[in-house]
């Protein structure tokens, strides 16, 4: 299954969201979801973030891929992007703006560990790079 997710950056913070249902109940994740057959990863990402957070995202850049096996194989592509809007939640019960080094203060998707690690490593550069864009 192809899945996309976004590390959304705003005001030098990254957004993480808490799920209210299914396998990841109560766990924080990067917002996103499954890629449908008729769409590109970027189209899926924009659609999922609009559906789940009610916001438009901009400056979308590929960040990394990660494979995991849950109930089936998950082929996850993570992107970084910016927004100028505040989320309005539908499938999540909470949304927090934080910095990568604090993500593990929250119960977070274990399979996303390498994404979080890369975000921590690249954060000084990434936050500067994304700052000029919003
Ligand atoms: N959204 C998201 N899903 C992730 C992350 N890491 C990770 O392993 N996953 C897995 C969990 C799920 O098995 C799958 C995403 O499925 P989903 O349930 O979010 O997809 P969806 O929104 O399209 O779901 P639905 O429409 O079928 O309800 O990817 C992540 O950071 N964000």
Q: Which atom of ligand 1 is nearest to the CA of 34?
A: 23
Q: 34 CB less than 6 Å from ligand 1?
A: yes
Positive or negative, the CA dihedral 69, 105, 49, 83 is negative
DSSP secondary structure letter of residue 24: G
Beta strands in the chain (DSSP E): 2-10, 13-19, 28-29, 32-34, 58-69, 73-82, 92-98
Q: Which atom of ligand 1 is nearest to the CA of 66?
A: 8
Q: 33 CB less than 6 Å from ligand 1?
A: yes
Q: CATH number for the domain including 52?
A: 3.90.79.10
- The residue range of the domain holding 118 is 2-131
Given the DSSP bridges, would you call strands 13-19 and 2-10 parallel, antiparallel or unpaired? Answer: antiparallel
Please state the separation of Cα 131 from the chain's center in Å: 18
List pLDDT tens digits, range 71-117. 899 999 999 999 999 999 999 999 999 999 999 999 999 999 999 99
Cα of 24 vs centre of ligand 1, distance in Å, is 9
Q: Report residue 38's pLDDT band, with 50, 70 and 90 as the boundaries.
A: very high
Cα of 132 vs centre of ligand 1, distance in Å, is 30
What number of CA atoms fall less than 13 Å from residue 29's CA on the CB side?
A: 25
| Dihedral-angle region of residue 109 (phi above 0 means left; psi in -120 to 50 means alpha; beta otherwise) | beta
Q: Total domain count for the chain?
A: 1
Q: Which atom of ligand 1 is nearest to the CA of 68?
A: 8
Count CB-CB contacts under 10 A for residue 131: 12
Q: Is the pTM of this model over 0.90?
A: yes
Atom 15, ligand 1: residue with shortest CA distance: 33
């Amino acid at each position: 299954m192809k899945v996309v997710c976004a590390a959304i950056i705003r005001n030098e913070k990254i957004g993480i969201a808490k799920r209210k249902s299914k396998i990841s109940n109560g766990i924080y994740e990067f917002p996103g979801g499954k890629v449908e057959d008729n769409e590109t990863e970027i189209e899926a990402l924009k659609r999922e973030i609009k559906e789940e957070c009610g916001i438009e995202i901009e400056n979308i850049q590929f960040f990394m891929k990660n494979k995991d096996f849950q109930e089936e194989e998950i082929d996850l592509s993570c992107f970084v992007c910016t927004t100028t809007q505040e989320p309005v939640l539908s499938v999540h019960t909470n949304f927090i703006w934080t910095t990568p080094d604090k993500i593990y203060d929250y119960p977070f998707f274990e399979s996303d560990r390498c994404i979080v690690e890369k975000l921590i490593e690249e954060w000084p550069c990434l936050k500067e790079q994304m700052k000029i864009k919003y």
